[in-house]
Amino acid sequence: MSEHTKEIEKEFLEYVKKMQAYNEALGLIYWDLRTGAPKNGVDQRSEVVGMLSSEVFQMSTSEEMAAYIASLSGSENLSEITKKTLNECKKDYDRNKKIPVKDFKEYVILQSKAESVWEEARAKADFEMFQPYLEKIVKFQKKFIGYWGYEGNKYNTLLDMYEPGITVDILDQVFSEVREAIIPLVKKISESSNKPDTSFIFKHFPKDKQKEFSLKILEQMGYDFNSGRLDETVHPFATGLNPGDVRVTTRYDEEDWRTAVFGTIHEGGHALYEQNISKRLIGTPLCGGTSMGIHESQSLFYENIVGRDFSFWKHNYNVLKEYGDGQFKDIDLNDFYNAINESKPSLIRIEADMLTYPLHIIIRYEIEKGLFNDEIEVKDLPKVWNDKYEEYLGIRPENNAEGVLQDVHWSGGSFGYFPSYALGYMYAAQFKHAMLKDLPNYDELLASGNLKPIQEWLTANIHQYGKLKKPLEILHDVTGEGLNAKYLINYLTNKYTKVYNL
Amino acid sequence: MSEHTKEIEKEFLEYVKKMQAYNEALGLIYWDLRTGAPKNGVDQRSEVVGMLSSEVFQMSTSEEMAAYIASLSGSENLSEITKKTLNECKKDYDRNKKIPVKDFKEYVILQSKAESVWEEARAKADFEMFQPYLEKIVKFQKKFIGYWGYEGNKYNTLLDMYEPGITVDILDQVFSEVREAIIPLVKKISESSNKPDTSFIFKHFPKDKQKEFSLKILEQMGYDFNSGRLDETVHPFATGLNPGDVRVTTRYDEEDWRTAVFGTIHEGGHALYEQNISKRLIGTPLCGGTSMGIHESQSLFYENIVGRDFSFWKHNYNVLKEYGDGQFKDIDLNDFYNAINESKPSLIRIEADMLTYPLHIIIRYEIEKGLFNDEIEVKDLPKVWNDKYEEYLGIRPENNAEGVLQDVHWSGGSFGYFPSYALGYMYAAQFKHAMLKDLPNYDELLASGNLKPIQEWLTANIHQYGKLKKPLEILHDVTGEGLNAKYLINYLTNKYTKVYNL
């Protein structure tokens, strides 16, 4: 490599570092806005967000960036980090540059209008109010796919934004397997006379005690409080500003402690990923989870595979009792376990239990695929949606607020995002299967409150790489195979057969 | 004004708005670093601070800025805001551009080294360790004065950075009056047999109760919680990110409630200033306090002139009692009032009472002036310092940690800053005198816990203008005269004569 190229590589990395620094500042601003920023300062803060975001956007599509890409692409002997950073930048550059500025501006305005219209439409359960906006958004996205191009299926281009490597072919396969396995299971449970008593879950549990318990579990998981903190918010999230500062937020419901406890475990799973990314990647776009799906695999692994496991509660149920207000006194561990694993069909995705959840996602996937392949029209969405809920879950929304209008995603044009949630679940089950080979004492670890080896395994196999590996590359390296739905199906079948004594 | 100039004015204001946006992001990062940012993220966060600060610095000295200054200076019909924004930018530009890049770089490195050496030297009470660094810093500052030029006295150039318009001539005059008045008063108090009993101050006062009381006082002051919040920190401060987001921080000492209570009132005074700056100034460098001294006048006004006033406690002593732990039971209002106004000479500035405080400042002023007029050498500072403490306060430091090494300011090259503290106190007393003409019922307002009219008066006369008016312009507009030490002298003399029954 020539001295000249070395110099350009160095400059390029400095350039990228600046973009990351601005993104980190933005990350802190978002965290602050969602955890207690004074409301009268929000308008001006939005200006700051706008300035910083557009600076990052401009840097990602600048002539300088184009020059870096042109001079470094194909260079021999670039470091692995530079090479992969360059790929990320190039992907961004291409995606953003291919959209004419005029279209992009119109689209941004449409997005922000659509989101506020959606909010009102949902409140009024009025789909027709939202319909023209959704139609325009879909039209724009189709136009963008035209600019970007596609392979195999138009919808693949959208999937690629959230889960590189995942295609309609793959999803059709795994989702149909999952659907075929879960629907009968859900039906059997509905017909079963075994119904867990869950009434104790809704007894008063003081917020500060919930917080203390949540902190205890985070600590058990291996969350590093020198590299993070737990705050309160309305819509919980985790955010990795850098690996040394990964913050978790949660929401407390004093009449349903599951919100905070399982929510914190979920966000804690995301946070462990971000805390354990290799420090070598700091200052590059590789310093983050590799995809939405792999990220979700970490949160769902902890929330559900660990957090709703019998052995986990063997250890932690007694701890929970100490913090509770006496509501667990007459509930034995088995009854407790069955109650937190209750499953019954429901209309709202974010309130769904962990068995029916994938069906909510599959419905959205099928609809999105249909939209982008011109098989479904926006105006028909309410009916298509309701029919699918009736077919898969046996229940039908009574209005569009609890149906097609329930999620914010489409109003922001985030098509292709929903599948990540179910992919994460499949990845998680597949990782668990691989983990058991290395940690045959997995159940004992859980039963003794020793979760550290689990985090270490995930760090060694997944976390540390950040975006150095693509999702399917990680999956293959860890499990020796491609995406395979059978692990999730087995997990769910075994678990719910036992819980409901089917 | 030509269309062309209008266009440039608009562009210039956009440019400046971006700088302000970056400063706001920096402000939030600093607040976060001091109120609970996870420690492992701090190194990388410092990189972010570095990137953003140097961007702002570059923008302030760019060719683009030079071009705006050149094309807009002297333009007729610019708005007042544009004109004064331009002046601020020009001042910054000139100051920064006149220092050769090489000098500036060396100086920045020296500063950061000097601060860490100072920290160690103070811990070891070892002045000789710090001396060579301080010598270099003074040398650099003298060199800078050479680049910047000066009028009348070299030290004026440094004063001008913190308190535009204030000169050695003015300070010599007012400080000598204050000195001549306070020293005999301090002496009389030392010799008086009246010593307030302060033991009740050091009885346990739970932190959460101190917080509740502090919040109550902030509310009484007119602090808007929709435009701010109160957090905990080690070294309290207030920070105005924008007028809708002005945050106060405080420190709780459970064995001395004065720390939090008077600290919060002090920072609350700063915060009221920033919350009430006209919204027209948002996005310009005019959106902030006009000088260090005027800022300090607001905090000292509230902390001392309001917060240590008898009428204020007529209302609030009963409130305080509700929050306390029984320690005020046998203390009547008079005893309480005398105790919180205790005065006795001490060595550490930040622990000084409100009578002796100005002497600490005058000592520093005299030393700084001597240094920059080649009348004092750095190596002689410990002796000069100790002699002055003995002469003015009647006490002599036993080591340099409680003497010349106590303050951080000089290690960062902040010469010219100290006088602001005493100026603020003089401004405050002078404002109070003017306020009484408009609010003849001032004592009743305090005694009834109705502080709102006081904030409204300060907003109408001072806060709203931000940097639209210079410090002495505000002083003149509000009081009809220039800086006059007699108001502070009268205030202190009346107050302490009464407290100590002299």
Given the residues B106, B119, B232, B267, select the one marked as catalytic. B267
User: Taking Cα atoms as reference points, which of B305, B306, B132 lies closest to residue B220?
Assistant: B306
B242 chain-A contacts, CB cut-off 8 A: 41, 44-45
Q: What is the pLDDT of residue B77?
A: 87
Give the per-residue pLDDT at B1: 64
pLDDT at A77: 87
Distance CA A411, CA A404 (A): 11
Q: Which of B42, B46, B47 to mutate to test the interface with A (most CBs of A within 10 A)?
A: B47
Q: pLDDT tens, position by position, for chain A (502 residues)?
A: 688 889 999 999 999 999 999 999 999 999 999 999 999 999 999 999 999 999 999 999 999 999 999 999 989 889 999 999 999 999 999 999 999 989 998 999 999 899 999 999 999 999 999 999 999 999 999 999 999 999 999 999 999 999 999 999 999 999 999 999 999 999 999 999 999 999 999 999 999 999 999 999 999 999 999 999 999 999 999 999 999 999 999 999 999 999 999 999 999 999 999 999 999 999 999 999 999 999 999 999 999 999 999 999 999 999 999 999 999 999 999 999 999 999 999 999 999 999 999 999 999 999 999 999 999 999 999 999 999 999 999 999 999 999 999 999 999 999 999 999 999 999 999 999 999 999 999 999 999 999 999 999 999 999 999 999 999 999 999 999 999 999 999 999 999 999 999 8
Alpha-carbon distance of A355 to A500, in angstroms, equals 12
- Residue B375 designated active-site: no
| Predicted pLDDT of residue B421 | 97
Are residues A38 and B247, on separate chains, in Cβ contact within 8 Å?
A: yes
Q: Which residue of B has its CA nearest to A42?
A: B244
A23 touches B: beta carbon within 8 Å: no
Closest by alpha carbon to B333, among B433, B196, B495?
B196
Q: What is the DSSP letter of B302?
A: I
Top CATH class, A199-342+429-472:
mainly alpha
Interface TM-score (ipTM) > 0.90: yes
| Cα angle A20-A24-A26, degrees, rounded to a multiple of 5 | 115
Which of residues 219 through 258 in chain B touch A, CB cutoff 8 A?
A: 224-229, 241-247
A482 touches chain B (CB under 8 A): no
Low-confidence residues in chain B, pLDDT < 70:
1
* Number of A–B residue contacts, CB under 8 Å: 109
- Minimal-distance CA residue of chain B relative to A39: B226
Instruction: Return all residues near B431 (Cβ < 8 A) that are at least 6 apart.
Output: B297, B301, B458, B461, B462, B478, B479
* Closest CB to B25 among A41, A52, A283: A52
Cβ pair A219, A225 in contact under 8 A:
yes
Whether the CB-CB separation of B52 and B22 falls below 8 Å is answered with yes
Provide the 10 A C-beta neighbour count for residue A185: 20
Report which of B346, B311, B280 is spatially closest to residue B432, judged by C-alpha positions: B311
Look at the alpha carbons of B462, B466, B472, B473 in this order and tell me if their dihedral is positive or negative. Answer: negative
pLDDT digit string (tens) for A46-81?
999 999 999 999 999 999 999 999 999 989 889 999
The span from the CA of B463 to the CA of B465, in Å, is 6
**Tokens standing for B478?**
């509000």
pLDDT of res. A1: 64
Q: Which residue in A418, A262, A265, A269 sits closest to A341, CA to CA?
A: A262
Residue-range domain boundaries for chain A: 3-151, 199-342+429-472
pLDDT, tens digit, for every residue of B114-138?
999 999 999 999 999 999 999 999 9
* Helical pair A452-461 and A471-479, crossing angle rounded to 10 deg: 120
Q: Could you tell me which of A52, A51, A33 has the C-alpha nearest to residue A42?
A: A33
Pairwise CA distance, residues A142 & A156, whole Å: 12
Q: Which amino acid, B137?
A: I
With an 8 Å Cβ cutoff, are B242 and A22 in contact? no
Number of H helices, E strands in chain B: 20, 3
CA-nearest residue to B40 within chain A is A244
Q: Which of A92, A87, A162 is nearest to A468 (CA)?
A: A87
CA distances from B212 to A295, B35, B397, B415, B449 (A): 41, 18, 38, 38, 16
pLDDT of residue B158: 98
Contact A248, A218 (CB under 8 A): yes
